[in-house]
Chains A and B, each alone.
Chain A
């Protein structure tokens, strides 16, 4: 499958689309390159939210981020849900479409979380089949996001190797969530540098950044993804490093809980631009020339 052209600018910066910001986003063009929406929140047949989304789509490039396809379920994909995703993507023609290396559905029940799966040859075959099926239905490349982990799994494959094989066999891209990678490395005692360098970085089509907190009520303390706080300094540092390697990749700042005012969220975008290598290179050139 050929790489699709996203149409986003070099080093694009985006934020999530939340209904409380829609009026503001429509009243005045915000200083962001794209907006990312959770697919499942926009699969209604009609109504004001759908009308708002159509208006937003006329003004901003979009990214559709699915959270409910359950690519890692041992059972077949929910074809009704896949059809809904295809319909949404066909309508919006987003720059990016992504899902997760996770599962949430079992025998008709949806667990409404991104549950982890053991990384084995069998799991790889399942996820490859489901990614193939999804890309076939969408007619375009899917980005698959690395998980944030809180438990050791019964793995026979390293996560980076699993993702590299997935990319190789399906032609999918990766959504590299730097916050998730940082959280998993801390919670599982994983070497983050080794993990990042083992990933097929050329397949990364988007970065995610988000906040997390440290739960010190447990021993040893766990880092917990919360999408409800600013990006941590440690994650910014990794972002600066990765954006040197992959300067063109779009970045999305997630914020799904305790959602701030749009202006506060845009401050986080400014921070992302500050930490991005392109900004540093420009600043260095300016300093050198003065």
Chain B
């Protein structure tokens, strides 16, 4: 290890451990500026990614959790919109959250919304293409990059809409297993409740882009009728994109 590398290791160690006994720059009072900059900027990044979670938890509690998260989970790359992937899991593990489990769903929706918002654009699969296909089962398609399927544990869509309108809260719906599909349309990310079959088909198409195979895999569990409706929903919401579809056309 070179001396610069050693120096940077010691500096980084001191940033993470406030009670360091290192004899280098960390003993100087100005070192606290760097420590504070790192911590504060990451807390602000989390607050920017999870504004509704912050509203629901309150400024003090959110900052406390974010501070703890920033201490243990540094970003792995410089783009801060990619920071905080484990934040919902960490929140979920806190005993203090036992009475507010629906906040975890809001937190996961916020993370997914940000990803969908910044994902690549792609032309959605046209229903007419499917109708014109010589062999629809051979059509290759997959979920659009600007889409995401999420399973929540509470019906929080009314609460989400209220938060989007700037309101502080709204009644939370029933517990259960709720499937949502997030799709970007223009500048807006829409969140739609969908059926479990829709979620299953979405993931089947991620794994195997041949439409026929994905439909067969989905039908085994959800039946042909529900699977057919799921395909209609995914196409209708613009959640699918074409992939090597030329050979399927007559």
A interface residues with partner B (beta carbon < 8 Å): 40-41, 43-51, 67-70, 73-75, 78, 80-81, 84, 103-106, 108-113, 115-118, 120, 122-123, 126, 149-154, 187, 218, 222, 224
Contacts and interface: CB of A to CB of B under 8 A. Distances in A.
A104 B145 contact: no
B38 A46 contact: no
Given A111-B38, A112-B38, A150-B34, 4 more contacts: A84-B79, A111-B15, A112-B80, A150-B33
A112 B81 CA distance: 12
Interface in B28-81: 28-31, 33-34, 37-38, 41-42, 45, 74-81
Contacts of B8: 73-74, 103, 106, 115, 117
6 contacts: A40-B79, A47-B184, A106-B8, A109-B12, A111-B12, A113-B37
A46 B12 contact: no
Max chain B Cβ within 10 angstroms of own Cβ: one of A67, A103, A118, A187: A118
Nearest to B24: A154
Given A46-B145, A112-B38, A151 B80 contact: no
Contact of A187 (B30, B80, B184, B187): B30
A116 B24 CA distance: 13
**9 nearest A-B pairs in the assembled complex, by CB-CB distance:** A68-B78, A150-B30, A44-B118, A45-B120, A74-B5, A151-B25, A48-B187, A109-B74, A46-B120
Given A75-B5, A117-B4, A222 B118 contact: no
Contact of B2 (A51, A74, A105, A115): A74
A106 B78 contact: no
B21 interface: no
Max chain A Cβ within 10 angstroms of own Cβ: one of B34, B42, B121: B34
Contact of A108 (B9, B11, B76): B76
Interface of B: 2-5, 7-9, 11-12, 15, 24-25, 28-31, 33-34, 37-38, 41-42, 45, 74-81, 117-121, 145-146, 184, 186-187
A45 B29 contact: no
A81 B5 contact: no
Contact of B31 (A67, A104, A151): A151
Contacts of B9: 106
A112 B46 CA distance: 13
Contacts of A149: 30
Contacts of B37: 112-113
A84 B9 CA distance: 26
A80 B82 CA distance: 14
A190 to B, nearest CB: 13
Contact of B77 (A67, A110, A153): A110
B28 A126 contact: no
Contacts of B81: 41, 44
A65 to B, nearest CB: 13
B114 to A, nearest CB: 10
Max chain A Cβ within 10 angstroms of own Cβ: one of B15, B37, B119: B37
Given A111-B12, A112-B38, A112-B42, A49 B31 contact: no
Contact of A152 (B28, B41, B76, B121): B28
A122 B33 contact: no
Nearest to A85: B78
Contact of A46 (B42, B74, B121): B121
Contacts of B77: 68, 78, 80-81, 110
Contact of B79 (A43, A73, A111): A43
A115 B3 contact: no
A73 to B, nearest CB: 7
A222 B30 contact: yes
Contacts of A116: 25, 34
Contacts of B12: 106, 109, 111
